[in-house]
Amino acid sequence: MRKIQLTAKTQKDILDTLLKRSPNNYGQYEAVVADIIDRVRNRGDEAVFDYTKQFDKWDIQADTVRVSAEEIREAFAEMDAAFIGVMERAASNITAFHKKQLHNSWIDPKPDGSILGQKITPIAVSGVYVPGGKAAYPSSVLMNVLPAKVAGVRKIVMTTPAGADGKVNPGTLAAAKIAGVDEIYKVGGAQAIAAMAFGTQSIPKVDKITGPGNIFVALAKKACFGYVSIDSIAGPSEILVIADETANPRYVAADLLSQAEHDELASAILITTSEALADQVSAEIEKFLQELSRADIIRKSLDNYGYQLIAASMDDAIEAANAIASEHLEILTKDPYQVMTRIENAGAIFLGEYSSEPLGDYYAGPNHILPTNGTAKFFSPLTVDDFVKKTSIISYSRQALEQAHQDIELFAEKEGLTAHANSVRVRFQ
C-alpha cells in the first residue's frame, strides 16, 4: 500500500484512479455485449444455447436448461450440514432486517371529499443473476432473493452458469432453496441477462434483474435497463477504514485485506490521523500475506488501489471519506458514533473494532449489495423498496374539484395545453 499525505491534490488523484475501475469505462466491450443481447432477443433459446456451448463448454438443451428438484436435493446432500445451518441462520437475520423496511399502502381522506393515497404492489417476477465457478457466492443468493421474498414478489427466477459437466455449484443451489427461488436456469454471462430481460422459449421474462457479475454481465444489465429494472451497475469491491491512534493495527490490516482478496481491481484504503498506526498496519499486512491463500491477488490489489492516507485532522479524514463514498466504511476511532454522524456517503458503515466488514457480507442482516465507485453519493443498498412499485391514488369529489378547477385551468392554459384545461372545465359548464 502506498502511504501518502492527504491533501486536496492527492485526494483528487486517488478519486480519478478509483473511477477508472467503473464499468462505465469499459466501452470496448459494449459492441460484443450488444450483439449477444440482439441475438438472444431475436433467436431466443437457440442463441442462449449456442453461447452456453461456446463459453461454458457444455451442450445445453431445452430439457436440461432448468435445474431439477433432484439436482437441488443432490446439492443439499453434498453440502456440510453445519454450513447449511449457518446459511439458514444468516437467512433468518437477513429476513428479519428487511421486514423492518416494509411500508404499507395508505389513504388520506379530506373533509372536502378529496382522497389521496399510495398503493404499494410487489413486482410480479424478479430475476437474479448469480456468478458461477470460482466466483460462486451463496451469500449473494440470500441477499438478492430474501428482500424480494419479503416484498411479496410472486415468482423469483435465477440464472447461473454451470460447469462443463452441466452441474451448478451446490452451495448456490442450497442457498437458492433456503431463500425460496422458484426456478433456476443453467445460463450465465450477458446471454443470461438478455434471456431474463426479453424471455426465451425456456426462460421467462422478468421485471427486474439483480445480482453481481463480470464486466459482460454488468454491461448487459446496463444495456437492458429500460426493458427491465436493475439494481445497479456494480463495480469492484471497496473498503475504507477511518482510524485514529486508538485502533488495533492487526484488526485494521485484517479488515483491509478482507476486500483486497476479491480481485485485482478491489480497493482498500486506510485514512488515519496517526502515521505510527499506518506503519504498524503495513507490518501486520505483511504478516498476514505469509499465510493467506489469495496473497497474490491481494498484493496486486494493494499495489494498484491500496492507499494509506495520513490526515492532518479527523475533519480532513471525514471529508475525504465522504468524497470517496466507499462501498464499505469502517470507523475504528475513540468515538466511532460521533464520527458516524458526520458521514454522508457510504454504502454500509461498520462501527467499532468488533464490527468487521464480513459481518455485513454474510450474517448481520443488512444487505451486502451496495453502491460502488462513488455512487454511494446518490445510490442506496438493495432494499425491499427495490422490489415494489408505488402507485399514486387520486379521488376528488365535485366539491373538492370545484374549489381547485380554476387554478388547474389557469396552469394548463399557461402551458398551452388547452385540452388539459378543457378536461376540467367541462365538468362545471
Catalytic residue among 71, 238, 284, 327: 327
Which string of b and e fits 349-364 if b means at least 16 CB within 10 Å? bbeebebbbbebbbbb
| Strand (E) or helix (H) holding 34 | helix 30-43
| CA 409 from centre of chain | 45
69: cell is 428438484
Residue 70 known to be catalytic: no
- The single residue listed with the C-alpha cell 484504503 is 269
Q: In 233-302, at which residue ranges do the beta strands (DSSP E only) sit?
A: 238-243, 267-272
Q: In this structure, how many other beta carbons lie within 10 angstroms of the beta carbon of residue 60? A: 21
Catalytic residue among 71, 238, 262, 328: 328
CA–CA distance, 374 with 16 (Å, rounded to integer): 11
* CB-based contacts of 301-304 (< 8 A; 24+ apart in sequence): 301/260, 301/261, 301/262, 301/263, 301/264, 301/265, 301/266, 301/267, 301/268, 302/1, 302/260, 302/268, 304/264, 304/265
CA–CA distance, 192 with 212 (Å, rounded to integer): 12
Backbone angles phi, psi at 362, to 5 degrees: -120, -35
Residue 98 known to be catalytic: no
Residues classed as catalytic: 327-328
